[in-house]
């Protein structure tokens, strides 16, 4: 998960704005350069020789007027690392889709489209298995087994779809503001999807609000060496209470920057933080992963959204929200039964 989606390769070598002459090209007759000029006479006689013991260096005739004639031209500067990276995903523009040297078997070259929209409305594309393998070789993972790359790409795509599903859940709750989000969250997570009209919490495409456009992923970056404050606190708690909080640190971290639209037509960029955790594998050997996705606390709004969503869920469970709902339903059912019985006696 150190990287994901590579955009279509872009040319990395600048192209001249007009054709460059090749070979022994000459300027047109109208150009002043067409007329050859006679070089000035040399200050050193042709027959002169350097006396023994004298300095063999003789300054050129144009030393005073053209110091660059003897100064070697500096080598053209190479483009820096940042200029070779796509600013949308911090991956190289020229991520190769060609077979690597010493590669023992061929890998698929096709790329799968995600369900995640870009700023222009198109969909982000996942890397092909060949691109994934070349990227891992570029990062120094020379021992990557070629026959496992396709499975790695499948897991990679699955995790990113899951991350977007989590982000969609946050956006469905809070795109209309904190107050509207509270109304959706006040009965806990178990009832929030019912309030939103979505049956599948992992749905990445359904957007019920007709007045507000759905969110879009603008750009993202991987930060695996920069643990989030929350993951660090969890590690401290696991050290103090390993039975309750014992968990390995996240194996990766991403920051995703999402365009959120509001009810008034305004839009803003919201940063989401994602920690990727690996759990105990299933009995069948299948890997298990956990994603912790939440808006970054870049201001009071991000903090308020986290407090509202998690706080209401904790309060709903701790205060017996389910029991209250059951009692309320039972009271309504009993009231209807009594009304039916009263009506039955009246007509008898």
Distances (CA, A) of 263 to 209, 266, 271: 10, 7, 19
Q: What is the pLDDT of residues 216-263, one digit of tens each?
A: 999 999 999 999 999 999 999 988 888 887 788 999 999 999 999 998
- N- to C-terminal Cα separation, the chain: 73
User: What is the spatial distance between Cα 106 and Cα 84, in angstroms, rounded to a whole number?
Assistant: 27
pLDDT reported for residue 29: 52
| Spans of the chain, pLDDT less than 50 | 2, 4, 6, 8-23, 25, 27, 30, 32-34, 43-44, 46-48, 50-69, 77-85
pLDDT reported for residue 74: 56
User: What is the spatial distance between Cα 96 and Cα 181, in angstroms, rounded to a whole number?
Assistant: 44
Distances (CA, A) of 192 to 43, 110, 183: 93, 38, 9
Residue with tokens 């995640």: 116
Contact of 135 with 128, CB cutoff 8 Å: no
Contact of 99 with 130, CB cutoff 8 Å: yes
Q: Identify the H or E element spanning 99.
A: none
User: What is the spatial distance between Cα 133 and Cα 112, in angstroms, rounded to a whole number?
Assistant: 16
Taking the CA atoms of 172, 174, 180 and 185 in sequence, report the sign of the dihedral they define.
positive
List the beta bridge partners of residue 277: 290
Contact of 171 with 215, CB cutoff 8 Å: yes
**Angle (CA) 304 308 313, round 5°:** 155
pLDDT reported for residue 164: 97
pLDDT reported for residue 38: 53
Taking the CA atoms of 160, 161, 166 and 168 in sequence, report the sign of the dihedral they define.
positive
Residue among 163, 162, 182, 164 nearest 174 (CA): 182
Contact of 130 with 120, CB cutoff 8 Å: no
Distances (CA, A) of 275 to 64, 73, 240, 294, 301: 65, 50, 21, 9, 21
User: What is the spatial distance between Cα 36 and Cα 31, in angstroms, rounded to a whole number?
Assistant: 11
């Amino acid at each position: 998960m150190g990287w994901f989606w590579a955009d279509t390769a872009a040319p990395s070598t600048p192209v001249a704005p007009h054709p460059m002459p090749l070979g022994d090209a000459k300027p047109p007759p109208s150009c002043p350069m067409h007329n050859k000029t006679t070089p000035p006479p040399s200050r050193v006689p042709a027959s002169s020789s350097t006396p023994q013991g004298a300095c063999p260096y003789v300054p050129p005739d144009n030393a005073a007027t053209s110091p660059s004639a003897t100064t070697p031209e500096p080598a053209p500067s190479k483009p820096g690392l940042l200029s070779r990276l796509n600013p949308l995903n911090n991956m190289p523009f020229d991520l190769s889709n060609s077979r690597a040297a010493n590669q023992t078997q061929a890998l698929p070259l096709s790329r799968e489209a995600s369900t995640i929209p870009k700023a222009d409305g198109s969909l982000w594309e996942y890397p092909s298995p060949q691109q994934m393998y070349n990227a891992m070789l570029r990062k120094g993972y020379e021992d990557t087994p070629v026959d496992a790359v396709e499975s790695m790409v499948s897991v990679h795509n699955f995790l990113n779809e899951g991350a977007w599903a989590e982000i969609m859940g946050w956006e469905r709750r809070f795109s209309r503001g904190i107050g509207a989000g509270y109304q959706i969250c006040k009965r806990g997570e178990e009832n929030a999807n019912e309030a939103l009209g979505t049956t599948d919490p992992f749905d990445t495409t359904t957007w019920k609000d007709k007045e507000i456009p759905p969110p879009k992923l603008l750009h993202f970056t991987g930060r695996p060496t920069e643990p989030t404050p929350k993951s660090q606190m969890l590690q401290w708690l696991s050290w103090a209470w390993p039975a309750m909080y014992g968990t390995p640190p996240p194996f990766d971290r991403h920051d995703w920057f999402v365009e959120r639209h509001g009810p008034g037509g305004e839009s803003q960029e919201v940063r989401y933080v994602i920690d990727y955790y690996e759990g105990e594998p299933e009995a069948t050997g299948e890997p298990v992963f956990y994603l912790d996705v939440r808006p970054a606390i870049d201001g009071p709004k991000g903090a308020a959204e986290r407090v509202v969503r998690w706080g209401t869920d904790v309060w709903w469970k701790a205060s017996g929200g389910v029991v209250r709902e059951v009692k309320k339903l039972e009271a309504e059912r009993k009231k209807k039964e009594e009304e039916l019985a009263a009506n039955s006696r009246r007509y008898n």
